[in-house]
Amino acid sequence: MKGVEALLALALAGIALLATACRGPAGLPSPTQSNLLLAPQAQPTPVGPSATGPGYRGAYGLGRDATPEEIATWDIDVMPDGTGLPPGSGTPAQGATIFAAKCASCHGDKGQGGLPATSEVLVDTRPWFERGNPRPVGPRTIGNYWPFATTVFDYVRRAMPFDKPGSLTNDEVYAVVAWLLNQNKIIGEKDVMNAQTLAKVQMPVRDLFVPDPRPWPEYQ
C-alpha cells in the first residue's frame, strides 16, 4: 500500500512541476506564451472591386483570359444526338489503313485486343451478359455495349491514339469509327460516316439503356 502511495505522490509532484514550467510568476502566462499572445496577427487583405471581372489575373497575378481559338480547341464535346460533330467524312476502307498504322499495336489488327493484356477489346458482337440472369460472359465492346455511335467519335477524337491523343484529323476519326462500326457488323462496307449519317446509326444495345428509376437527385 505504501508503494502505491509513493507512486501517486510522485505523479502529483510531476504534474505540479509541469504546471510551474508553463506559468510565470504568480500564475501569469510564461514569457513564451506572453510573446505569442502579444504578437501582431496577420490580417487578411480585403478584396476590392478590381479583383474580379475581365482581365482578372488571379491571386498571384498570373495567367490571362483564354482566346476564342484556345477555347475552341478544348470545347469539342459530341452529344449522343450528334450535336457537336464536326465537318468531315470517312469510310471503313479508309479507316482500316489508319487503324493498322495507329491503333493495332494496342488493340490488335482486328480490334480483338492485343498487348498489353489490359488493352481494350473493340470488336466482339457476342452478348456480354446472359439475359434473365445478368452476369458478364464476355468483354464489353463497341458492338455489344455502347449505346451511341456518336460518343465513339467523341472518345476516339479526344483520347486516341494513346501516345498522341488528339492528333487524328476529323476525317481520320470518322474513318476509324466507320471501320469499327463495320467490324462490329453495325454498318456496311460502303457506308460513309459523317455528321449526318453517324448520328443516325442505331446501336444494337441502345434500348437496353434506360433512365435510372431511383428518385433521389444524385441519380437523376
- For residue 127, tell me if it sits in a domain: yes
- For residue 82, tell me if it sits in a domain: no
pLDDT at 68: 92
Q: State mean pLDDT over 135-145.
A: 79
Mean of the per-residue pLDDT values of the chain: 79
- For residue 6, tell me if it sits in a domain: no
- For residue 79, tell me if it sits in a domain: no
Please give the grid coordinates belonging to residue 47: 478584396
Report how many domains make up the chain: 1
Domain encompassing residue 199: 87-210
- The neighbour count for residue 29, using CB atoms within 10 Å, is 14
**pTM for the complete prediction?**
0.66
- For residue 112, tell me if it sits in a domain: yes
2-11, 35-44, 130-139, 171-180: which has the highest mean pLDDT? 171-180
What are the respective helix, strand and coil percentages of the chain, to the nearest 5?
A: 40, 5, 55
What would the pLDDT profile of 5-49 be if each residue is shown by its tens digit? Answer: 655 555 565 565 555 545 555 555 554 444 544 555 666 555 554
Q: Is the pLDDT confidence value at 175 over 60?
A: yes
pLDDT at 144: 86
Domain with residue 190: its CATH number is 1.10.760.10
